Amino acid sequence: MYYTIIFFILGLILGSFYTVIGLRLPNKESIIKPRSHCPNCKRKLKWYELIPIFSYIIQRGKCRGCKKHISIKYPLYELLTGICFALSYIVFGLSLKIIMPLTLISLLIIVIISDIEYMIIPDEIIIFGSILLIVETLFINGMNGFLASVVNSILFFITMYLIKKVGDFIFKKESLGGGDIKLMAMIGICFHIKTIVVIIFIASFIALPYAIIVMLKKKEAMVPYGPFLSLTSIALILLKQNFMSLIDLINYIV
């Protein structure tokens, strides 16, 4: 329980930082300067206004300066990261096996934030994340694991690219963004090749009802696919089901 709480608190703290990255990087802003501030009145926030979740609750979701409402999404991002970190410890324990799951989850949290807020998946996150994950794979799993990860990543990229081309042809417009394709290449570093079908299937299954509702309200509306791919990947990480085929997953659920 002690370590679970520690990982949860660590996740909350890092979740606050990941929110800053996800909000600033798409706008080509520094993630270090300026200090955290209210986006409305530009007032620099005090340290006690930056305590994850608790500051939001104490301030009743409003800026202490201009009293403008602060989006509930920000503490939810922090809470999501905290929960994911705590569950990662419960699932993988305090060992080398937890390094890659925490790394990928961290990267995917940033992707979720960026894609929800701006419908952009920054190349910086994909490039930096892919390099970091490949290095970790080489260190933890050796050369065989490294080669397998590279092959899986390439296959994930090719599969998503083909899906995009088919979708573009059917719908006569862009069906997937380039960021989604590159995202799957990064995710592919950490997953068994069989999981490619599982991730795409579940993410599409979850995204479809939401996309229909959004497009019924506004025909030309765009729906970010990255958050669905990311959440599905996180779920499979925490279920330790990266080896499953689609049939295995159906049997597991039933």
Q: Considering only CA atoms, which of 125, 123, 124, 150 is closest in space to residue 135?
A: 150
68: enclosing H helix or E strand:
none
Which pLDDT score, from 0 to 100, does residue 253 have? 42
DSSP 45: P
Q: Which distant-in-sequence residues (6+ apart) come within 8 Å of 5 by Cβ?
A: 86
Which pLDDT score, from 0 to 100, does residue 249 have? 43
- Cα(71)–Cα(61) distance, integer angstroms: 7
**Tens digit of pLDDT per residue, the chain (254 long)?**
889 999 999 999 999 999 999 999 998 888 887 777 776 777 777 767 778 888 888 887 787 777 788 888 999 999 999 999 999 999 988 888 899 999 999 999 999 999 999 999 999 999 999 999 999 988 887 888 788 888 888 888 888 888 888 877 776 777 677 888 899 899 988 887 777 778 888 888 898 888 888 877 776 667 788 899 999 999 988 887 543 344 444 444 44
Which pLDDT score, from 0 to 100, does residue 183 have? 92
Spatial contact of 198 and 236, defined as CB atoms under 8 Å apart = yes
Q: Map tokens 């602060």 to a residue.
A: 70
Spatial contact of 108 and 14, defined as CB atoms under 8 Å apart = no
Q: Map tokens 């290449």 to a residue.
A: 185
Which pLDDT score, from 0 to 100, does residue 211 have? 80
DSSP string, 1-24: -HHHHHHHHHHHHHHHHHHHHHHH
**Predicted model pTM:** 0.87
Cα 173 to chain centroid distance, Å, stands at: 26
Which pLDDT score, from 0 to 100, does residue 22 have? 94
Q: Map tokens 């929960």 to a residue.
A: 83
27-37 burial, b if ≥16 CB within 10 A, otherwise e?
eeeeeeeeeee
Q: Map tokens 């929800």 to a residue.
A: 116
**Structure tokens of 158?**
């090719």
Q: Which residues pair with 62 in a beta bridge?
A: 69
